[in-house]
Amino acid sequence: MYDERLAEFSRARLDGRPVPDDLRVLLVAQWDGRTDFSRLLDLDFFEAEELHPLLDTRYLSEKELADPEMQAANAGAAEMATYVKLVAKGGKGWIGYWLHPDEPTVPAWRLVELDTEFTFWSLVGLTLTEGSAAERASYQQDEPDERIAFTRLAARLAELGLPLSTTDYDALDDTEYRVDPEKLMEELIEAEREKRGLR
C-alpha cells in the first residue's frame, strides 16, 4: 500500500538505501495516522520533500549568506549531509543514521542525533527504535531510573508489534564511531575556509 511512498522516502532521506524494518513500521504508522509510536518515542518523521536540517539556510539573512565564514560553514554542513541521514524530528533536534563510508553497516547502521545547536550525539542501540527508546527513557518523569523506564518502553513497543533486540538498557549496543561526526564537521569547515583563503 505504501511501497511508492517508502521508495520516495528512501530516495529522499537515505539515498535509495533499503528502509530498515523498524523505520518502515514507524513510517507506515505515522502515515496511517496512528499516534501510539509517536507518543512513546516522540518522533515525527520527515516528509520526503522536507529540507535536510544541515542544508536548510532559510533562517539566514542575505548578509549572513554572503559572509565567507558562513559560506564555509554551510559548504561543510552540506558535505556532512551526505553522511548524516536524518529521518525524524525528535530528541534534542533530529535523529537518523551516521552512514560515513568508514563506519560498519553490520550488524546495523550507526545512529546519530543532531541538536538544534548543530552538535552531534551518538545514540545507543541497533535500531532507530532502540536509540529513540533509550533517549526517551532518560526523560520519563514518572520513572527517574532510565533502566526501568527503558524496560517499560520496550514492553509497550513489543505489545504494539515492534519488539527490540533487548529489554535491558545496559545491554544496548554502544559501539563508538570510527569517524567522529563532530571532528569531521570541523575538518570539513576548515577545509572550506582554506579554499576561501580564510586561514
pLDDT of residue 140: 75
Start-to-end CA distance of the chain, whole Å, equals 53
* Residue that the C-alpha cell 526523560 belongs to: 139
| Number of other residues whose CB lies within 10 A of the CB of residue 49 | 7
Angle formed by the axes of helices 68-80 and 181-195, to 10°?
Answer: 140
> What span, in angstroms and rounded, lies between the C-alpha atoms of 165 and 48?
28
Q: Of 122, 119, 131, nearest to 26 (Cα)?
A: 131
In degrees, rounded to 5, the angle at the alpha carbon of residue 27 between the alpha carbons of residues 26 and 31 is 120
pLDDT of residue 100: 98
pLDDT tens by residue, the chain, 199 residues: 799 999 999 999 999 999 999 999 999 999 999 999 999 999 999 998 899 999 999 999 999 999 999 999 999 999 999 999 999 999 899 999 999 999 998 889 999 999 999 999 999 999 999 999 999 998 876 788 999 999 999 999 999 999 999 999 999 999 999 999 999 999 999 999 999 998 7
> What span, in angstroms and rounded, lies between the C-alpha atoms of 179 and 199?
24
pLDDT of residue 142: 78
pLDDT of residue 86: 98
pLDDT of residue 91: 87
pLDDT of residue 7: 97
Tell me the β-bridge partners of 110. 98
> What span, in angstroms and rounded, lies between the C-alpha atoms of 46 and 147?
29
Q: Of 144, 95, 100, nearest to 124 (Cα)?
A: 95
